[in-house]
């Protein structure tokens, strides 16, 4: 599990009005309800903003779907495991997920193609941790078994989301795709070379 800006409040992306997240991932085991991206709180298990594997323990196909879950600081679930039709968590293969969140209007792309949209009422989650590969909260957990790479974060949405997703899926590194340009303030806070790591495929 990689904690970003640990002890300094995370990145708090879920409070940014508009942001784009791109992650390459390779699952090395069939796994239920694990996270590739999460924001939470060290003082509670309630506020969550998560992207990960499916939550159906008895159904391997659903486990392999990309899954979005969001819960408020008060414990209200606004998005209860919104899942892709695609199953990109089959083991041993690299895949890309792009999440574009525009004040609660969310578009999900898988391997360069539009997957689905979903919505929530945009409210402050009071998160203070940002992690990749699990959840860092009052009781940490949901550790992902596999590899993550070439993670990109922007504080805006692409002008042409389909072209943006297609370029990254075609192999362009997240920090070289020109639409949009990386968010300088966000990337400076990361101090991890823009979180752009090269996949080894």
Q: Residues 24-64: pLDDT tens digits?
A: 999 999 999 999 999 999 999 999 999 999 998 888 888 99
Give the residue, 176 or 83, on which the prediction is more confident.
83
pLDDT at position 184: 39
- Beta bridge pairs of residue 82: 68
- Domains located in the chain, CATH noted: 2-195 (2.60.120.200)
Rounded to two decimals, the pTM is: 0.86
pLDDT at position 167: 92
Peptide bond between residue 161 and the one before it cis (omega within 30 degrees of 0):
no
The first and second tokens of residue 171, run together, are 């192999």
Q: Distance of alpha carbon 37 from its chain centroid, rounded? A: 4
Q: Residues 64-115: pLDDT tens digits?
A: 999 999 999 999 999 999 999 999 998 899 999 999 999 999 999 999 999 9
């Amino acid at each position: 599990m990689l904690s970003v800006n640990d002890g300094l409040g995370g990145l708090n992306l879920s409070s940014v009005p508009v942001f784009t997240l791109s992650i390459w991932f390779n699952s090395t085991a069939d796994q239920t309800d694990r996270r590739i991206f999460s924001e939470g709180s060290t003082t509670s298990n309630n506020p969550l903003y998560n992207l990960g594997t499916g939550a159906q323990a008895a159904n391997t196909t659903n486990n392999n779907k990309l899954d979005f879950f969001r819960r408020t600081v008060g414990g209200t679930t606004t998005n209860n495991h919104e899942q892709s039709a695609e199953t990109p968590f089959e083991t041993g293969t690299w895949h890309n997920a792009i999440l574009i969140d525009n004040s609660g209007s969310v578009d999900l792309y898988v391997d360069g193609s539009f997957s689905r949209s979903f919505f929530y009422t945009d409210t402050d989650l009071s998160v203070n941790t940002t992690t990749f590969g699990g959840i860092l909260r009052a009781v940490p957990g949901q550790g992902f078994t596999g590899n993550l790479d070439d993670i990109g974060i922007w504080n805006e949405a692409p002008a042409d989301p389909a072209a943006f997703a297609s370029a990254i899926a075609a192999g362009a590194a997240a920090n070289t795709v020109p639409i949009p340009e990386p968010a300088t303030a966000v990337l400076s806070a990361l101090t991890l070379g823009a979180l752009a790591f090269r996949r080894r495929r």
